[in-house]
Amino acid sequence: MKKFKTIWTIVFICTLILTLPAAVYADIGPKDELTVYVNHPPKELYYLDLLTQETSPYNNLSDEGERESLNSTMVDLLYSYANEGWKPALTEGTGVPMFGNLIGEPDGNRMVHEFGYFGVPDTYRIIIVTESGEITVSDTFTRKALQSSITFDYNSGKAVVPNIAYTYLLQFITTCIPTLIIEAILLLLFGFKLKENWKVFLFANIITQIALTIIIGSALIKSGPLSAYITQFPIEVAILAFESILYYKFLKGKTPKTRCIYGIVANLASWAIGFFLLSYQYELLIRLL
């Protein structure tokens, strides 16, 4: 009796978590962000901007006197590739707002330039112009995450972006391990023997966790927590149905009804944990990007 009280307590807590409103991320959540790290920066004054082919006359330099305080000759140099269709996103303006810093902030031996908000271009090039008139432009890159970074070496003109595969791997691990733990505990609470059922248990969870990483993980990395929360509901419902049917047919021990109930309870529990951890996962993942 005590065992079933524990099970239903877990079900109640999971249901409560899943019925609570998700954190409202619409305009207060993570926004597009690109951080540019410059190794071996110029020894003289320089401006760094993002070149884009999707500019519009939106004034990103809207603060009073901000544009007037810039070196007009250097600003003109930022338009050096305009005849090829590339214009400076922060200086020229984007269709929607974007914030940034042409001059950057020192961080040890490197400089850091942060560009953020909805106007950050998906496809871009880095352009650096110096007070003495030198112009350096990078290759073309496409952002693969809502918030990411790129490291540009001024001496070599080469840029490196973090390998996003590590981010997906971390997302899989941080989702899979808590799921295996909670569902294994519930398996034992329901009276199933792990020795007899570990193969079907692992198969069901590894397959579904891969699917979650591909679908929800992609939404989380590329679009942020809000998109992941929205995507999570239909995917988790499908997984709940899949695992419940799988356990109903292949788990050993107990009645078919108990196997099915276990599948439902276990998935509600892992779903609740995943729901709770999602925003924390995002904060962890963006550190790799």
What are the extents of the domains in the chain?
Answer: 2-28+164-288, 33-142
Query: Does 43 score more than 70 pLDDT?
Result: yes
Query: What tokens does 213 get?
Result: 């990483």
Residue 143 pLDDT exceeds 70 = yes
Confidence of residue 10 (pLDDT cuts 50, 70, 90): very low
Of 160 and 19, more confident:
160
Q: What is the mean pLDDT of residues 30-56?
A: 90
pTM comes to 0.78
Angle at 49 between CA 43 and CA 54, to 5 degrees: 165
Where do runs of H (alpha helix) occur along 93-224? Answer: 164-189, 194-212, 218-223
Q: Residue 86 phi/psi, 5° resolution?
A: -110, 125
Task: Tell whether the model's pLDDT for residue 46 goes beyond 80.
Answer: yes
Provide the 10 A C-beta neighbour count for residue 113: 25
Q: Contact at 8 Å (CB) between 60 and 90?
A: yes
% of the chain at pLDDT higher than 70: 86
Question: What's the half-sphere exposure (Cβ side, CA atoms, 13 Å) at 164?
Answer: 16
CB 120 within 8 A of CB 35: no
pLDDT (tens digit per residue) in 70-107: 888 999 999 999 899 999 998 887 777 888 889 989 99
* Pairing label, strands 110-116, 105-107: antiparallel
Average pLDDT over every residue of 184-212: 91
Q: Distance between alpha carbon 75 and the CA centroid of its chain, in Å?
A: 33
pLDDT at 23: 40
254: closest CA among 188, 192, 205, 195? 192
**Per-residue model confidence (pLDDT) at position 156:** 92
Q: Is the per-residue pLDDT at 25 higher than 50?
A: no
Distance CA(193)–CA(179), nearest Å, equals 18
Quote the DSSP letter at residue 23: P
**pLDDT higher at 151 or 93:** 151
Residue 38 has pLDDT above 80, yes or no: yes
Q: What DSSP character marks residue 22?
A: P
Residue 197, pLDDT > 60, answer yes
The larger pLDDT score, comparing residue 15 to residue 278, is at 278
CB 235 within 8 A of CB 215: yes
Stretch among 25-29, 92-96, 171-175 having the lowest mean pLDDT: 25-29
Give the three-class secondary structure for 224: coil
User: 10 Å Cβ neighbour count for 231?
Assistant: 18
What average pLDDT is seen over the chain?
A: 84
The stretch 171-183 carries a mean pLDDT of 90
pLDDT 10s digits, 156-167: 999 999 888 888
Q: Residue 183 pLDDT more than 70?
A: yes
Of the pLDDT bands very low, low, confident and very high (cuts 50, 70, 90), residue 230 is: confident
Residue 27, pLDDT above cutoff 70: no
Q: Lowest-pLDDT range, 16-30, 100-114, 166-180, 212-226? A: 16-30
